[in-house]
Each structure stands twice: as structure tokens, then as C-alpha cells.
Amino acid sequence: MAIRAQVVVCGGTGCMSSRSEHIKNEFVERIKELGLQNEVSVFMSGCFGLCEKGPVVVVYPDMTFYSHVKVEDVEEICKEHLLKGRIVAHKAYTEMTPEDENKIKKFQEMTFYAKQERIALRNCGIINPFDINEYIARDGYMALGKVLTEMTPDEVIDFITKAGLRGRGGAGFPTGLKWKLASKHRGKEQMYIICNADEGDPGAFMDRAVLEGDPHTVIEAMVIGGYAIGANQGYIYIRAEYPLAVERLNHAIKQAYENGLLGKNIFGSDFSFDLEVRLGAGAFVCGEETALMASIEGERGMPRNKPPFPADKGLWGKPTIINNVETYANIPQIILKGIEWFQSIGTEKSKGTKVFALGGKINNTGLLEIPMGTTLRDVIYNIGGGIPKGKAFKAVQTGGPSGGCLTYRDLDAAIDYETLVSLGSMMGSGGMIVMDEDNCMVDVARFFLEFTVDESCGKCTPCREGTRRMLEILEKITGGKGTLEDIDELETLANSIKDSALCGLGQTAPNPILSTLKNFKEEYIAHVVDKKCPAGVCKALIKYYITDKCIGCGKCKRGCPVAAITGNIKEMHKIDTSVCIKCGACKVACPVGAIITA
């Protein structure tokens, strides 16, 4: 009997932390019990993208998308769906759209996927990343074969340049041009090609998904890149906090060597290429290319001056190309499908797609890959499924701690490199955090700055000293002790840090502040002049009150850790604001929403 169905369990970090490996093992057990092991296969794949609904299990070929799967559900799915062919409706993904209320949607029919175009993520959720044959079966290593047997290095560079691929790590530098700059050293000295898999932005996990779900795409692209520029040695610098990705990458590299796709004379050509994994050690700054190289060299991870640029003097002083994971993930498809195909996707200056990690106050938290030019409105309300609990959209932060926030005025903006910059933010690596009316924008700025201050390498004055001072001012403001002079000082510091910091970390650290100052100045003013936090977040500036919705159930009183609430059963309760520590336990406990912050 041939395999008639495949159960694909998501093996991304998110689902794995929710026991998806146990779910997979349970499937294997149950399928065996039912004697279906020769008909139904089970494997773990990369991230499906709709992490909000994890653990995700998809049954092929009928494309049923099961969400929030638990180990206890497996038995039913096996008995009902796999054996009898009846979809388990209460576990199947349904959509709550006005047109399709509660309708079961199959994988790829789902609104979440409708506007996506998965190029970098093309194999995630489809292949088993532990099996190189599955990668090969989906045209894996065909691009490399074409490159090594039909194209010269310069033709490859020309091809990528004409396709218009831009770096996906944040800066958007044209990839072909970068490769060209390094290629002038080809044949003259040792050269290196590096993959930046440090992905330090909080909330960003695009690269993680590619590395966990489709490691071979990066390997293939690096060999292609090495060939194009003249490097026979590659390094993948990956953060140690991605153990699953590290494991799968190492496994993939081993398989690639075994199959002659790495090592000497690949595809029988003159080209040999070696690839190694190097681990990071918990420093966001090592995502900056010169600090990354310092780290590989065994030095302290601190950025260096540019010029000289890595393309001329990089790793160990040799010409080096560094590209982001997602940039590499696009290369094989561009080679195979051609320049016109890639040019047909995206906007005039930003071709292709971008993977975004959508998080925050959004229904469909997860990863999505969309063509450049998709509007923010589509991302948030269509793909993202809108804001939970019917709350009002307030802002969306793009670019992580280096980016800025976009407001409702920008909802119809087409997402591409130039547009985002013109709106005061940046593409960044692809993190997108959605905020609603309950987010305090001053606190948001403080949150990102706290991260930057912790991660500053300490080398240059403006970043080391300046960001910390900005944080102290913000803490003063959210602590209720801010003045208008503080806001001025904040802005002055922000501008001089932006102007004079040595590396991108410092230069972009003030962005969240400058952006929120520009778009939400009134919130800052409220904090310092009125000593109020309009969103009700900053503890020092809010008080908890019980309104007359109170039914006197006493749940709040019982839940208060400091006994700040008094009141008799069936009577209005009261909070002593001088004792209250603003933990919010009462608000959560109240069954009628009678407790507010103001």
C-alpha cells in the first residue's frame, strides 16, 4: 500500500514549547496502534506561520488545518480523520470573518494565507527539514547546479543585481551590488561569506523559522554566493538561543557534505566550498556585521569603523560578504524562476517579498510573508485578523528597537523600504508589534530603550552613556517626576546620539523615542504636565477605582495581595489608593468589569 496521507506536525520553536514533539510521537503511536503505519506517515516540519493557533497539525493531501492541538486530541484525530476520513470539526481551524462565520478553512484557503506569497518560507510547513531528499524533491540544489554548470561568477552577480534583491536584515542594501563590491578581490586572496543568523530583535523570529524549517535553502544560497564572489569558506553565525535551529542546521550541513553538495568539487566543478556554524553568546550587538566578525575572530563583540567595509577588509582582514538568512532564502528561487518573476513581485524599488513577525495586540500572531507593497491595513486587519477584544488600533512598531511607530494615518501605506523610512520608521528585520488603546506609547519607548541600554556594547560615548541617560529621563517621566525640560533634553540627546554613534545599534536606538515624540507628543505632555498616563499603564501615574458597576461580590477584595480593598458583600467596594500597589489583580478578578484605571 502506498502512503495516502501525511500528518505534518509543526516543529517550530513555538509549537515545540507547546509539546508538538510529544504530539508527533503520539501520532506515530496511535497510527501504529490502528495499523495505518504503511498508509499514513508523520513528520515534523518547519513553522506554518500561524503561531497563534499552535500547536498546528496539517493533514495532507486534504489540507485540513488543526489548531491548538493537544496530545489528548491525537487519538480522536487518528480514529475519526485518519481512519474514517471524518474531519474533527472542533479542532479544525475556523474563521470568524463576517462572511464566513465559523467556517472551516483548509490550509492555504485561510484568509491568513490568501494575501501571502511564501518564497523564503516556501518549504516551511511542507518538508521535513531533517531530510535533504525532501528539499531536493522541491527543486532543492537545482539552482546551485545551474549556477555551477551554466553560469560564471560574474553572471550570477549580474543576475541577482538585475533581479533587484535587497538585503532583508534591515538596511535593504542591494545584494547584487554588495556581491559585486567584494568580487573585485576574487582570486587574489582568501575571501569569506557569512550568514548573519543572530536575529536579535525582540519579537523577531523570521530567520529562526527559515533555519528550523528549511536550513538547506541557506546552505544552497551560501554556496551560490561563495561561487559568485570568490569565497570558498562560509560561516553561519547563529545565536546560541536558537538550539533547534542550530541542531537542524548542523544536521543539514552534515547531509549536504554527505551528498557532495558541500566540500570538494561540488557537482564535479572546480568549485569547492566549506561551511561551518559559529555560535553567538547572548549579545544583540553581534548582529552588527563588524561586531559579528569580531566575535567570530574570538575578539570582544564590538563594532569597528567603516570604511574599510567588510567587502574589502572583513573577517580576519579578508574581503567578506555578510548577508541575512532571509536574503539567502530568496536566492535559489530567483536563480530558478528568473529575473522577470522576481521583478513582478513588489514595488518599484523594493522587489520580492518580506517575512514579518506579527506580534502584540493582534489576533493572528505569527509569521507572514507578503509581497512588498502590501498595505499595513491588509497586514493588520486581513492577514492579522484585526485587534483582539475589539480594541482600537493605536500604532504598530516596525523594525524593533531600531524602528519607529506608524499610526492610523499610515494604515494605507504600502510597505516597502523607502515608504517606511519616509514615515519615520524602517523595515528592520521584520518585527511588527501592534499596539492598541491600552498601550502607553511613552512606556513603549521606554521598553525598547531598556533593551538597547542593556545590549549596548559600551564602546562609544553616545550609545553607552547617552542611551542610558535617555532611559533615566524616560523612567523619570513614567515615574511621574518628569518635566517639560526633560522632554527637550530627551530630544536633544536623541538627535546627537543618532548623529554620532559608531554603529547602527546606537544610531537607531533613539528612533522609538523620536518616533513616539513625533506621533504621540500629547501622551508625553500628559505624563509630565498632567501627571497622568492616558492609557492607564504607568503605575506611578494611575490609580485603580471601583465604579458603580460593582456588584459587591468581593472577588477583588479576596484577590488583593495588600488588602487595599474594603467593602461588604452586596455592597459597593472601595480601593484605598494609598495602599494599592497597582498589580491589577482586582481588575482581572472582577467579573463585571467594574474596576478601571485612571
Partner 1 sequence: MSELIKVTINNKVVEVPGDYTVMDAAYVAGIDIPRLCFLKDINETSACRVCVVEIEGIRTLKNSCTVKVKDCLARGANSIVVKTNTERVKKTVKNNLELIAANHRFECWRCPREHNCELLHLLRKYNIPNTIGENNAFAKKEPIFNITDSIVLDSSKCILCGRCISACEKLAGTKVLDFNKRGFETFVGPALNHNMEDSGCIFCGKCIQACPVGAIREKDDVDVVIDLLEKKEYYVIAQTAPSVRAALGEEFGYPIGTNVEGKMYKALQELGFDDVTDTNFAADVTIMEEGTELIGRLNKFLAGEKVALPLITSCSPGWIRYIETYYPQYLDHLSSCKSPQQMQGALIKHYYADKIGVDKNKIKVVSIMPCIAKKFEARRPEMEVDGLRDVDYVLTTRELARLIKRQDIDFNNLPDAAIESPFGKYTGAGAIFGATGGVMEAALRTVKELLEKKDMKNLVISEVRGTEDGIKEATLNINGLDLNFAVVHGTVNVPEMFERINKGEKKYAFIEVMGCTGGCVNGGGQPVISAKVQDRIDVRKERAKAIYGIDDTAKLRESHKNPEVIKLYEEFLKEPCGHVSHKLLHTHYVKREKYSQE
Nearer to partner 1, 159 or 448 (CB): 448
Provide the H-helix boundaries in 87-141: 111-114, 132-137
Phi-psi region of 280 (alpha: psi -120 to 50; beta: other; left: phi over 0): beta
Angle at 515 between CA 513 and CA 519, to 5 degrees: 120
Query: Among residues 161 and 461, whose Cβ is nearest to partner 1?
Result: 461
Minimum Å gap between C-beta 339 and partner 1 is: 25
For residues 564 and 549, give the distance between their C-alpha atoms in angstroms, rounded to a whole number.
19
- 139 or 489, CB closer to partner 1? 489
Q: How far is the C-alpha of 494 from the C-alpha of 513, rounded, in Å?
A: 7
Q: Which is nearer to partner 1, 205 or 417 (CB)?
A: 417
Beta-sheet strand order (sheet of 274-279)? 274-279, 233-238, 192-197, 320-324
DSSP state of 124: T
Determine contact, residues 152/181, Cβ cutoff 8 Å: no
* Cα–Cα dist 392/148, whole Å: 54
**Backbone φ and ψ of 4, nearest 5°:** -105, -15
Binding site for partner 1 (CB under 8 A): 283, 285, 300, 302, 304-305, 307, 453-462, 464-466, 468-469, 472-473, 476, 481, 492-493, 495-502, 507
Q: Minimal distance in Å, beta carbon 473 to partner 1?
A: 8
Query: Which residue lies nearer to partner 1 by CB, 269 or 492?
Result: 492
Strand partners, 324: 196
The enclosing H or E element of 430 equals: none
Please, what is the minimum distance in Å from the beta carbon of residue 506 to partner 1? 9
Yes or no: say if 317 and 290 are a contact pair by the CB < 8 Å rule: no
Burial 374-385 (b: 16+ CB within 10 A, else e): bbbebbbbbbbb
Least distance in Å: CB of 487 to partner 1? 14
Q: Is the CB of 58 or the CB of 501 nearer to partner 1?
A: 501
By beta-carbon proximity to partner 1, the closer residue of 454 and 530 is 454
Q: Which is nearer to partner 1, 315 or 473 (CB)?
A: 473
Q: Report the 10 Å Cβ neighbour count for 527.
A: 29
Smallest separation (angstroms) from partner 1 to the CB of 489: 8
Rg (CA), the chain: 26
Cell of 497: 546620539
Q: How far is the CB of 480 from partner 1 (least distance, A)?
A: 13
Q: Which is nearer to partner 1, 321 or 505 (CB)?
A: 505
State which residue, 246 or 291, has the beta carbon closest to partner 1: 291
Dist CA 360 CA 6 (whole Å): 33
Cβ at position 19, least distance to partner 1 in Å: 36
Residue 21 has what DSSP assignment?
A: H
CB 355 within 8 Å of CB 212: no
Contact 143, 224 (CB under 8 A): yes
* CB 586 to partner 1: min, Å: 32
Residue among 360 and 506 whose Cβ is closer to partner 1: 506
Crossing angle of helices 153-163 and 175-183, in 10° steps, is 150
DSSP assignment of 331-391: HHHHHHH-HHHHHTSB-SSSBSEEEEEEEES-SS-EEEEEETT-BHHIIIIIIS---GGGP
In whole angstroms, the minimum distance from the beta carbon of 47 to partner 1 comes to 32
Quote the least distance from Cβ 459 to partner 1, whole Å.
5
| Best CA proximity match to 192, nearest among 182, 178, 204 | 182
CB of 336 to partner 1, least distance (A): 34
